[in-house]
Amino acid sequence: MVHQVLYRALVSTKWLGGAGRAGKLGPGLRVLDASWYSPGTREARKEYLERHVPGASFFDIEECRNVASPYEMMLPSEADFAHYVGRLGISNQTHVVVYDGDHLGSFYAPRVWWMFRVFGHRTVSVLNGGFRNWLKEGHPVTSEPSRPEPANFEATLDRSLLKTYEQVLENLESKRFQLVDARSQGRYLGTEPEPDAVGLDPGHIRGSVNMPFVDFLTEDGFEKSPEELRALFEAKKVNLAQPLIATCRKGVTACHIALAAYLCGKPDVAVYDGSWFEWFHRAPPETRVSQWQRGKA
């Protein structure tokens, strides 16, 4: 299903700051801090408690996932997602704005943007420039936790935006979808290790194209213009008029591909939720391409 009406996928720090000053942060507009960092680097919840956008709630991606799955960051059930976001004061009528505190400007926020969309919620946006630029521009912060009134959210999974292992495996033969990998070139090729991964070699799914997600962002942490994004897709010979599946390591940075395509007018990019982590552990060896040498430092 292609969604013809494109909701604004990005809102500016100026817009959100103005909404806050106008007192519009309430049941109709909810802000989420979706920060997550590799263990041993930064502590996302601690940083949220120290300072965040006024009125923002912390969206814990470690909690809002399928914790029973052996794979990383897999989607929760419809009921679990609905319960989780409902406790954050989000209803089906709420405009949700998501940001994170990554130094790149955006890392996990597009994943949460996609999660809302895959569960049927269209009024969701990413804060362009992220918390990095919110701070840089001098917008207010607070340490006061948000305590929204619980709301009722009904989730309906949009399967057109989600691909499973079986579907991606079938696609290797049918080639109905283009497959694009958002990881760095070294991890895609298998010349660099997968970070914080035991027993997971780097590499990629046979037939996939590499588009590192950082290429979609400016040095200042903002999303590049639609014209620049289109040029990136064209340079990789990715046809935005044709079906597209996005993948990465665990279905997070793949959502940057979905967001970039959306900004180019293509709202129907599907994400392979299990991504390379699941593929490496389940797929036939001949479908995995890698220059990695086991025992390599």
Nearest one of 144, 141, 205, 147 to 178, comparing CA atoms: 205
Interior angle at CA 95, CA 93 and CA 97, nearest 5: 155
Residues 260 and 216 sit within 8 Å (Cβ to Cβ): yes
Our answer to whether residue 248 is catalytic in this structure is yes
- Among 64, 248, 255, 264, which one carries the catalytic annotation? 248
Residues 6 or more apart in contact with residue 221 via CB below 8 angstroms: 103, 104, 105, 106, 129, 130, 132, 133
Total count of residues recorded for the chain: 297
Q: For the chain, how far is it from start to end, CA to CA, in angstroms?
A: 45
**Measured distance CA(2)–CA(57) in Å, rounded:** 31
Name the region of 29 (left: φ>0; alpha: ψ -120 to 50; beta: rest): beta
The H or E element that residue 188 is part of is: helix 185-189
Q: What is the 3-state secondary structure (H, E, C) of 126-153?
A: EECCHHHHHHHCCCCCECCCCCCCCCCC
| Positions marked active-site | 248
